[in-house]
Structure 1
Amino acid sequence: MNTNTTPQEAARSTPGWWTEAVIYQIYPRSFADSDGDGIGDLPGITARLDHLAELGVDAVWLSPFYPSPQADAGYDVADYRDVEPLFGKLSDADRLIAEAKSRGLRTIVDLVPNHTSSAHVWFQAALAAAPGSAERQRYVFRDGLGPAGDEPPNDWQSVFGGPAWTRVTESDGRPGQWYLHLFDTAQPDLNWDNPEVRAEFLDVLRFWLDRGVDGFRVDVAHGLVKQADLANWEEPQEILSGQEVDKPRPPMWDQDGVHEIYREWRRVLDSYDGERILVAEAWVEPAERLARYVRPDEMHQAFNFEFLLAAWTAPAQYAVVTRSLEATEAVGAPTTWVLSNHDVVRHASRLGLPIGTPRPNGIGADDPQPDAALGLRRARAATLLMLALPGSAYLYQGEELGLPEHTTLADEVRQDPTYHRTGGAQRGRDGCRVPIPWEADAPSYGFGPTDASWLPQPTSWAEYALDRQRGVPGSTYELYRTALRLRREHQLGRGTLRWLESPDEVLAFANGPLTVLTNFGATPLPLPAGAELLHTSAPLDTDGHLPTDTTAWLHTP
Structure 2
Amino acid sequence: MTEHEASVDASVISDDPDWWRQAAVYQIYPRSFADSDGDGIGDLRGITSRVPYLRELGVDAVWLSPFYPSALADGGYDVDDYRDVDPRLGTLDDFDEMVAALHRAGIRIITDIVPNHSSNRHEWFREALAAGPGSPERDRYVFRDGHGPHLDQPPSDWESMFGGSAWEPTDDGQFYLHLFAPEQPDFNWHHPDVRADFLKTLRFWSDRGVDGFRVDVAHALAKDLSHPLPTHAELEATRLVTDGSHPLWDREELDEIYAEWRAVFNEYDPPRIAVAEAWVAPSRRHRYAAETSLGQAFNFDLLRDDFDAGDFRRTIADNLVFARESGSSNTWVFSNHDVVRHATRYGLPDDQGQDGAVGRAWVLSGGQTPPLDRDRGVRRARAATLLMLALPGCAYLYQGEELGLHEVAEIPDDARQDPTFFRSPGVDRGRDGCRVPLPWVADAPAFGFGPADASYLPQPEWFREHAVDVEASDPDSTLSLYRRALALRRELQAAETLTWAEHGDDPEVLAFDRPGGWRVVTNFRPRPVPMPAGDVLVASGPLDEASDSPGARELPGETTVWLRVAPSVD
Which band: TM-score by shorter chain? Answer: over 0.9
Contact 1:140–1:180 under 8 Å retained in 2: yes
Inter-partner Cα distance in structure 2 for 1:358 and 1:214:
32
Deviation of 1:15 after TM superposition, in Å, equals: 6.4
Deviation of 1:527 after TM superposition, in Å, equals: 1.3
Contact 1:159–1:237 under 8 Å retained in 2: no
Task: Please name the residue that 1:299 is paired with.
Answer: 294
Deviation of 1:357 after TM superposition, in Å, equals: 4.7
Q: Quick check: 1:183 aligned with 2:184?
A: no
Task: Please name the residue that 1:496 is paired with.
Answer: 497
Determine what percentage of the aligned residue pairs are the same residue: 56
Deviation of 1:108 after TM superposition, in Å, equals: 1.1
Contact 1:34–1:448 under 8 Å retained in 2: yes
Contact 2:539–2:560 under 8 Å retained in 1: yes
Q: Deviations over 1:461-489 (max 9, x none)?
A: 11101111114221101100111111111
Amino acid of the residue matched to residue 321 of structure 2? E
Q: Quick check: 1:225 aligned with 2:222?
A: yes
Change (3 A) 1:459 1:517: same
Contact 1:519–1:525 under 8 Å retained in 2: yes
Q: Quick check: 1:514 aligned with 2:518?
A: yes
Give SS of 1:301's match: coil
Which of residues 323, 339, 347 is equivalent to 1:328?
A: 323
Which of residues 548, 554, 569 is equivalent to 1:545?
A: 554
Q: Which runs of 5+ in 1 are unaligned?
A: 1-13, 171-175
Q: Tell which deviates more after alignment, 472-481 or 366-375.
A: 366-375
Task: Please name the residue that 1:433 is paired with.
Answer: 435
Q: Supply the RMSD in Å over aligned alpha carbons.
A: 1.9
Once the two structures are superposed, the pairs formed by residues 22-33 of structure 1 within 5 Å of their partners are 22-33=24-35
Q: Quick check: 1:216 aligned with 2:213?
A: yes
Task: Please name the residue that 2:411 is paired with.
Answer: 409
Inter-partner Cα distance in structure 2 for 1:269 and 1:148:
49
Inter-partner Cα distance in structure 2 for 1:441 and 1:428:
29
Q: Deviations over 1:63-89 (max 9, x none)?
A: 111111111111100011111111011
Inter-partner Cα distance in structure 2 for 1:163 and 1:63:
27
Inter-partner Cα distance in structure 2 for 1:396 and 1:357:
18
Task: Please name the residue that 2:451 is paired with.
Answer: 449
Q: Tell which deviates more after alignment, 154-163 or 35-44.
A: 154-163
Task: Please name the residue that 2:264 is paired with.
Answer: 268
Inter-partner Cα distance in structure 2 for 1:192 and 1:370:
45
Task: Please name the residue that 1:9 is paired with.
Answer: none
Q: Tell which deviates more after alignment, 341-350 or 464-473.
A: 464-473
Which of residues 200, 204, 222 is equivalent to 1:207?
A: 204
Deviation of 1:231 after TM superposition, in Å, equals: 2.7
Once the two structures are superposed, the pairs formed by residues 71-470 of structure 1 within 5 Å of their partners are 71-170=73-172, 176-229=173-226, 230-234=229-233, 243=240, 250-285=246-281, 287-355=282-350, 356-360=353-357, 362=360, 363-364=363-364, 365=366, 366-470=368-472
Inter-partner Cα distance in structure 2 for 1:76 and 1:132:
25
Inter-partner Cα distance in structure 1 for 2:451 and 2:245:
49
Change (3 A) 1:307 1:250: farther
Q: Deviations over 1:315-370 (max 9, x none)?
A: 11111111112112101110011111111111111111123255137414154343
Task: Please name the residue that 2:5 is paired with.
Answer: none
Give SS of 2:37's match: coil
Task: Please name the residue that 1:173 is paired with.
Answer: none
Inter-partner Cα distance in structure 1 for 2:393 and 2:61:
15
Inter-partner Cα distance in structure 1 for 2:565 and 2:234:
50
Inter-partner Cα distance in structure 2 for 1:245 and 1:165:
26
Deviation of 1:167 after TM superposition, in Å, equals: 1.2
Inter-partner Cα distance in structure 1 for 2:147 and 2:126:
24
Contact 1:242–1:284 under 8 Å retained in 2: no
After the TM superposition, list the runs of 4 or more consecutive aligned residues in structure 1 that deviate by more than 4 angstroms: 235-238
Change (3 A) 1:242 1:547: farther
Deviation of 1:428 after TM superposition, in Å, equals: 0.5
Q: Which runs of 5+ in 2 are unaligned?
A: 1-15, 547-552
Give SS of 1:18's match: helix
Aligned length: 533
Inter-partner Cα distance in structure 2 for 1:555 and 1:250:
49
